[in-house]
A and B are shown apart, each in its own frame.
Chain A
Amino acid sequence: MNLKEWIFTTDHKRVGVLYLIGSIAAFAVAGIMAMLMRIELSTIGPTITANPTQYNVWLYTHGAVMILGFQIPALTGFFANYCIPLMIGAKDVAFPRVNALSVWLFYVGVILALLTFFIPDPPDVMWTGYPPYSTITTGNTAMYSFTVLILGFASIIGGVNFLTTVAYMRAPGITLNKLNIFVWCTLAAFVLQLIFVPVLGTAVSLISMDKYLGTNFFDPTKGGDVLTYQNLFWFYSHPAVYVIFLPFIGVVYEIISVHARNAVFNYKMVVYGGVGGIVLLAGEVWVHHLYVSGMADWLRIGQMVTTLLISIPVGLMMIGLIGTLYKGSIAFNTPMLYGLGVVFLFLIGGLTGIPLAVPSLTLGVSDTYYVVGHFHYVMAVAGTFAIFGGVYHWFPKMTGKMYNEFWGKLGFWLTFVGVNIVFWIMMDIGVQGMPRRYYDYAHFPQFESAHQWMTAGAAVLAVGFAIAVLNWIMGAINGKPAGDNPWNSPSLEWTTVSPPPHGNWPSPPAVAEDWHPYGYKKA
């Protein structure tokens, strides 16, 4: 092992592994923040801190690091890097140095986010950074802005790199209708990143400029407008949900198709209807995050319609998954359990989102635990399950070794039970009126036992995730040899050796006329 060849690497697989290590570390830190919040909330009144600002800092770190340091880098960093060049038969990405730059910018962004624990006046602006609070707080808002800007820039150059790679570097014979669903999904996510991340970058720059450089974007006394920020922020941050959703559902497609030994159901419907529909609609729904911020009724109704519309392409993608399972020969191994877990969790998350699209219903549950439970189901938990399932799925490819199936399944079931305890109860007490973001809930003593159940559930799921990560580490060290293609998949990444060498194949892989990544031979 040559450390220099890892740190300064430009190889897409090693860059991918660096992304994985960094994002799992970020996941651990952000998970600890969540546990601290859960412990704090387990009793009424101060439990482990008497300082509400401390709680705000945990909230900030949990949200910002989970989204920007874990989910987006794991999906568009690790999976995209590791899988896309292998799936299209390329020797590397179009710009290997740019790729290395994006992974190290990602580390720099995570380092900035973690400096929160060591600096005076850490940022306390949640992951949203709404002004006027963010421009008047004593917390260090600049740290937040720079974290977002650096991670955003990393994902923009990553997006440019991968769009160019897939456009120009596919092996001969890999036509657009023979791309893996994961490649389609991730490309769509990169298009969304290119369009929307710059808007977020602008929004967070403006709050720091207002706070430190004396500009007046959000200062009404000088003619500025606070709502401008909310619009810019959600114009990115709603599509960010699809930036996470698309790659993770793509991972689930790969998992389910292989482990059910079934071609993806209605490939063109999934790609052009599902993925394409989401890309077209992603930028037209952000105002539903502002239903209670004040706006004209006609705008509310219009946004309700577009928000409900986007459930159609999302529904097509779910139909594709269920159809792929139909009459498949399903192997209930660890990656498949996570894949099925995503289908289940995403269904709950998706259905509980429909009431939130409707202003008349949303006004009642806005800023309650119902919203928190909903988006944790739909995005946080479903996305994390897909990431864990995907790592298990490609683990034999990355290491050439096999993980332990028993510990894998045990970890899955613990997390699965844990998340349902936490987030089902959360939605329940949210509907009953438990407000979100509160450090204490002395006015709602009736929810104390529910909070204690959630804290217990959080402990269970934390153990489950820890078992999974330990399982990978142990498997990478002394797992049994897995062979080059343990899942018997026709997809291109399994045709090279495990782990693949620099350059991936001795010469670009040739595919037969009737080859398809989902062309399973029936026994």
Chain B
Amino acid sequence: MAYDAHHADGHAHPHWDTSIYPFIISFGILALAIAFSFKFVYHNGFAAILALGLAVPMIIAGIVGWTSEAMGKGEGLSYGAMGWFIVAEAMIFVSFFVGYWYTRLHADVWPPAGTVALPKLLPLVMTFILVASSLTIHYAEHLLHLGNKAGFRTWYVITIVLGACFLGMSAYEWSHLIHEGFTISTNAFSTVFFSVTGLHGSHVVVGLAIFLAGLPSVLRGGDVDEGFMRTAGLYWHFVDIIWFFVVSQVYYW
């Protein structure tokens, strides 16, 4: 126990909490940054693969170890912390959108040459799916709160499936557009389109990863960390809300 360490208590070796995983993740990220430089700055693919081969296992091992060390031992503070974190996340999107508006409103011609017509129906379906997944996770949490674990498990898994469907449609759309010759390098609008949808998609991936991290304990049927689930749900709602901005600003404007 932490408080036993008070040095007035005697001569026992004081206990200091440690964890090796933050250290491992940090240096994994260092290797990741170096891999990027090798690949894109020095054009040394072999060295890049080496650095990447160091980075990815370190980061994954770090996250897995951290999760197993800490899961279920929180003090219920993660929900509030996620709220603050979402402020920071939202600002990333704000900077992309403001940069986009700034560029677009200053442009003489918009859209710039090379822009193709974006699909109009698919984004509607994607919106429907993402909103549905937000509702299903909310319902799942509600059932968990009532103590209905079987119901919770069902709706939790449905949420994950819906999220995966969304990602699949996004990937289909990307490959379709790239096939038509509309790539991230085509012009300023294609840059915005792919970076904003990609940024949002990466958040969907992170949200799904958080759900998957909780999945083993859900499937096992034992105690489920309700605080963890609420926090994961909050993040998912955030990702959902951001999508409205993406869809209205990038697809339909």
Contact = CB atoms under 8 A, between A and B. Distances in A.
B195 to A, nearest CB: 6
B65 to A, nearest CB: 10
Interface string A47-72: 00000000000000000000000000
Given A8-B19, A121-B41, A231 B36 contact: no
Nearest to A226: B103
Contacts of B110: 223
Interface residues of A, number: 75
B81 A223 contact: no
A107 B188 contact: no
B63 to A, nearest CB: 11
B229 interface: no
A160 B5 contact: no
A333 interface: no
Nearest to A120: B42
Contacts of B190: 216
A231 B102 contact: yes
A195 B91 contact: yes
Interface stretch (B27-35, B121-129, B149-157, B237-245): B27-35
Interface string B1-42: 011111111000011111111110111011001001100111
Give the interface centre of B40, B91, B109 by most chain A CB atoms within 10 Å.
Answer: B91
Interface stretch (A163-171, A340-348, A374-382, A388-396): A163-171
B251 interface: no
A192 to B, nearest CB: 11
A320 interface: no
Interface stretch (B82-90, B201-209, B219-227): B82-90
A227 B99 CA distance: 9
Contact of A502 (B17, B20, B112, B183): B17
Contacts of A209: 195
A167 B80 contact: yes
A231 B8 CA distance: 55
Interface residues of B, number: 69
A194 B91 CA distance: 8
Main secondary structure of the interface of A (DSSP, over half): helix
Interface string A185-226: 000000000111111011100100100111111010011110
B3 A503 contact: yes
Contacts of B33: 108, 112, 142-143, 146, 150
B30 A111 contact: yes
Nearest to B184: A215
Given A97-B19, A222-B188, A104 B27 contact: yes
26 contacts: A14-B16, A97-B19, A97-B70, A101-B26, A108-B30, A142-B36, A142-B41, A159-B84, A159-B88, A161-B81, A194-B84, A213-B184, A215-B194, A217-B191, A219-B188, A222-B186, A222-B188, A223-B110, A223-B111, A223-B188, A228-B99, A231-B99, A501-B5, A501-B14, A503-B3, A506-B6
Interface of A: 2, 4-5, 7-11, 14, 91-92, 94-98, 100-101, 104-105, 107-108, 111-112, 119-121, 140, 142-143, 146, 150, 156-157, 159-161, 163-164, 167-168, 194-199, 201-203, 206, 209, 212-217, 219, 222-225, 227-228, 231-232, 235, 497, 501-503, 505-507
Listed from nearest, the 8 A-B pairs whose CB atoms lie closest are A223-B188, A223-B112, A104-B26, A503-B2, A101-B22, A214-B185, A146-B33, A212-B40
Given A105-B29, A156-B85, 12 more contacts: A7-B23, A104-B26, A112-B33, A160-B84, A164-B77, A164-B84, A199-B95, A223-B109, A225-B103, A227-B102, A232-B99, A502-B16
